[in-house]
Structure 1
Amino acid sequence: MTSADNEPAPLDADAAEGFLRMFHTAHPEAGPVGPRLSRVRDEIAGTGTYRHTPDELAYGARIALRDSGWCTSGLPWRRLKVRDLRGLRNAAAVAGECVEHLRLATNGGEIRPLITVFAPDAPGAPGPCIWNEQLVRYAGHPDGTGDRRYTAFTAAVREMGWRPPGEPGRFDVLPLVVETAHEGAKLFTVPPDVVHEVCLEHPDLPWFGQLGLRWHAVPVITHMRLSIGGVSYPAAPFNSWFVGSEIGARSLADENACGAARPVAEALGLDTTAERSLWRDRAVVELNRAVLHSFDLAEVTITDHHAEALHRLSWLRSRQRSSGGRPAFRLDPGAARRARAGGPGRFAPAPAETTAPQSPGRLAELLRRRAGV
């Protein structure tokens, strides 16, 4: 852990000015930029940072998503709904609202592009961070069962007190790890009832469903920080929707992930003794077909990699070149390590404290309180 990881960097006043000018150019109804710049300069001089207006926050989040390449079709970033929860710094509240984010984004299968923005970094008050790469990820167990990309993360959260709900399986949802400067790292179980999963079957292969493959519906990215006009939001989970090959080729087929290509190839009767037979390629095609077919059958929003490739070419031709002052999603080295290895913590030089995961009932209670039930 370095000081750059756990201490908020000094605010870049030039980035603040560049962003505000950009915002006022795009929103002339906001009035002249001069008075706003004057207030922001005074706020930075007095506190070391400044607070975005709700409109500035929403604009910055949409531009960051547009420029990130996560959703190049242009549709998700235009539809992006921004949940402004900058007042939340406690781990339980952050975890509860992440669960609410997943519920709202799933929307019965008609996926809603959504971002939830928690407290920013500020002098003497760093914001919370989320260790997980995505809100829903599957455990990787020591015997090779599950998603092997998260074997180290799984081992780390087991040391912190997490246990699978039963016998270790291929699709055990990992707990959410939220870390704050004043609480350390805390575990929270993601309630099963908000994890919408699609069971995979194939349009032409009746036996495919017997493989027992499935995948979650919404890719909520949780470990990237949102940077807008010099202000850094270390916890700002966001989602659009899946590209089919992210599931079929990268997550299910890859030997370093779920390793499903070989059993599919064997069921197809292919020669798996040599890569030259291209058994792996043929298996990946059938996995991708099964993903798209099953998501369509379940009426869950998804796109395919051919459509996404066309959108990306158009995006590359038209996008603005990035600069230091433009809003962006960023991944720092510490966050990348935590997402795969389960540490080290952002704030504590010692290993994260052992803590039993909070139950789904606790998160449900938080959500009920928020709704006033």
Structure 2
Amino acid sequence: MTSTSDVALRSGRRNRIPGLIGLFALLALVGVAVLLSLGLGAQDVAPGEVWRALVSPDGSDASAVIRELRAPRTALGVAVGLALGVAGALIQGHTRNPIADPGLLGVSAGASFAVVVAIAVFDVTSFGGYVWFAFAGALAASVVVFAVGSGGRHGPTPVTLALAGMAIGALLASFTSAILVNSPETLNVFRFWVVGSLAGRDLDTAGQVTPFIAAGLVLAAANAPALNALGLGEDVARALGQNIALARVVGVLAIMLLTGAATAACGPIGFVGLVVPHVARALTGPDHRWLVPFSGLLGVVAVLLADVAGRLVARPAEVQTGIVLAVAGAPFFIWLVRRVRLVRL
């Protein structure tokens, strides 16, 4: 007689082949997006020249453009896209809220407040200087949100975390606005960071945030199976032997690291963590073991293509990545809400 576990195992094997095919297809799409990011801009470079510039630079203008300008921003785009896509899948899974995004834990508000303080108080004006202030502010805000959301009898729950995040985010946003209103000089510097962009960052910036993103991705991979159990309800997950508190802590820590690092490096970039998980869920279903990597790869594609589009629509000038994603993401999400029945998490 066939047991339930045998049926589930065979079902998992049947689903694994399409999942692997989808991952390979997404990896190929990421490769195309990377090639477009390296080759297109104010000065277009053919794919063959891109390869030569990366492998054997000859000192030409094209080689300098590829290695000094586009390669660092492309590497950063890959890291940030992975971080925001995965963080979006995690926050929607933990809050069981299909319209939650990684900024729900106060990460963006904390990073913005810290950057404003760095500019106004410590006279920091470089992107490299912003990174550590923004990251510290993002982590500090997330810790406060988690502490406030954990204060009830039942510990951290999706509702208390969401309410605490909105309250702390609103408070920090008011502090940020108060400083900017009274300091036009701070506003002039801050506006270049807050719009969200990959431009102007170098490999040092990518190197500063990559270890935190890598740590967040490891925690996210470890947290994915627990999210499948939590999706059945906390009582069922507890009956299955899941440590609810530990799962929440690991998930929130992963979201903090991923979103904090991405926001610190590029400024607040919206809609990636909100829209991308829905697209991934349409491809994979609710299984977070597939949903998390699919969301990360789709996040890379979204960020890189938005960055390329921003270079092309107004060249030789540029439109910032955050603006392009907002323009493209807002109507897409409206269509998603109106035309597609969102999965109840």
Check whether TM > 0.5: no
Greater RCO, 1 or 2 (C-alpha within 8 Å, sep 6+): 2
TM-score (norm 2): 0.28
The answer to which structure has the higher helix fraction is: 2
The answer to which structure has the higher strand fraction is: 1
TM-score (norm 1): 0.26
